[in-house]
Chain A
Amino acid sequence: MTVNITRKKVVEATIDILKKAETKLPDDVINALNRAEVRESNPVAKAQLKAILQNIKIAKDNSVPICQDTGVLIFYVEIGCDLSLDFNLEDAITEGVRRATETIPLRPNAVHPLTRKNSGDNTGIGLPDIKYELVEGDGLTITVAPKGAGSENMSAIAMLNPTEVVSIKNFILETVLDAGGMPCPPLILGVGIGGTFDKAASLSKSALLSSLDEMNEFEREILHEVNCLGIGPMGLGGSTTALAVHVRTAHCHTASLPIAVNIQCWANRHASITFRGD
């Protein structure tokens, strides 16, 4: 069934959600930061959280990016099985990225991996990174999650020995420890357990889209241990090293135990739009 979803609408929607994601943090993240600021007793940590909250307010009021690292642009697209489009969706999203880079503006971050030449418009080989999922119905949901490099660079993956389930928590803690203040804590940790080498990484990244208010007991337990490290906001000490932990699992080979930890800084930016088919 074809619908009222046009190329022009997708290009404009891409710019809109990018603008929203880059300038306004989701409420669950702001609420978690506010709670942490109240809870912290360490004056340096409190000053960091105050600066972060003030920064979020300025970005929102002035409609400017929260962070100068406007990230590499990752899109999650849910396409209804009954939807048919008469234009190239990937091309439309990419065009939206080019225009948003100029109009919001976004920092041009995309470079060739070897020559390091900057493309100037946040597009390039494999960028924007668009991940597709087929869902029921005839709708289309586009989510953008800009990912900064400071936190991405501290992420880690391991192929554990399958008898070492107990090492999972150790690996998560060690990853946070090694990262220290570099990924801009307080962090949100996406953890992928199981699947394959790439599946674990992909689960750890999509886990970052979950609401900070929804954690199960296992996730809370890890969060508690992480915060006991005392790394604190920006690695300057304090009780808020992370705001949330989200774990996603997948069945894996009996001989494998992949684990991936995708580290996200406090600026857990994402925004979505849904089109309904008519």
Chain B
Amino acid sequence: MEYHLKTPLKKNDINQLQAGDIVYITGNVLTARDEAHARILELTEKGEPLPFDLDGAIIYHCGPLMKKTNGLWEVVAAGPTTSGRMSKMTPTLLEKHNVCAIIGKGGMQDVSESLKDKCVYLAYTGGCAALAAESIRNVCGVYWSDLGMPEAVWSMDVVEFGPLIVGIDSKGSDLFSNVQKHAKSVFFGYLRANKG
């Protein structure tokens, strides 16, 4: 199935999606990668407020390449980064904040329980930074710029952002893990055959 969704995403928008579906998003996304995740968790643990709102937010695992023209930020290239690096921090983040979708690449490990009934993991084609930049229409703001351009949190408005493949749906079905299971069985078959 193919879906064209607008933010803020509703519970039904999330729960209807199944692993393997194609999604296009219009609305607001917040970039966050390694350092931003670490800081979100640190401030949350201390009970301190965040400078942006994660309630109903879409997190985009992305370290964009930006350019400042006449005092305004413009996106040059903004494809997804490897989500696997955020796997360990994501369950705590989802427990404390009501994030409804995560966009990234390469899949995530051991997060499907934390996603259940509230969030989906969407895969954007890795490396497609020029394509992504075309659907980012507005840079609304930047937070934590002390972390450096790639690690800062950028708030962006996107239009028909995709194609995004539902990698992990809110019922726990994980396309990446199914593909990996199959690949593993092929590999072990190969090992057995080669040992004679």
Contact = CB atoms under 8 A, between A and B. Distances in A.
Contacts of B127: 52, 55, 66-67, 69, 148, 184, 265-267
A69 B179 CA distance: 26
Contact of B131 (A58, A149, A267): A58
B163 A47 contact: yes
Nearest to A238: B179
A62 B130 contact: yes
A228 B186 CA distance: 7
A203 interface: no
B49 interface: no
Contacts of B186: 228-230
A236 B126 CA distance: 11
Contacts of A109: 150
A252 interface: no
A236 B79 contact: no
B9 interface: no
Nearest to B20: A44
A225 interface: yes
A70 interface: yes
Interface residues of B, number: 47
Given A51-B131, A181-B176, A68 B165 contact: no
4 A-B pairs closest in CB distance: A184-B126, A182-B106, A68-B77, A55-B128
B78 A180 contact: no
B176 A180 contact: yes
Contacts of A106: 65
Contact of B22 (A47, A54, A111): A47
A234 interface: yes
B150 A235 contact: no
Contacts, number: 168
Contacts of B134: 58
B123 interface: yes
A128 interface: no
Interface string B180-196: 10111011001100100
Contact of B165 (A47, A52, A153, A265): A47
B82 A68 contact: no
A26 B28 CA distance: 35
Nearest to B77: A68
Contacts of A127: none
B79 A67 contact: yes
A206 B115 CA distance: 41
Nearest to B22: A47
Q: Which residue, of B125, B149, B150, has the highest number of chain A Cβ atoms within 10 A?
A: B125
A117 to B, nearest CB: 8
Interface stretch (A8-16, A138-146, A170-178): A170-178
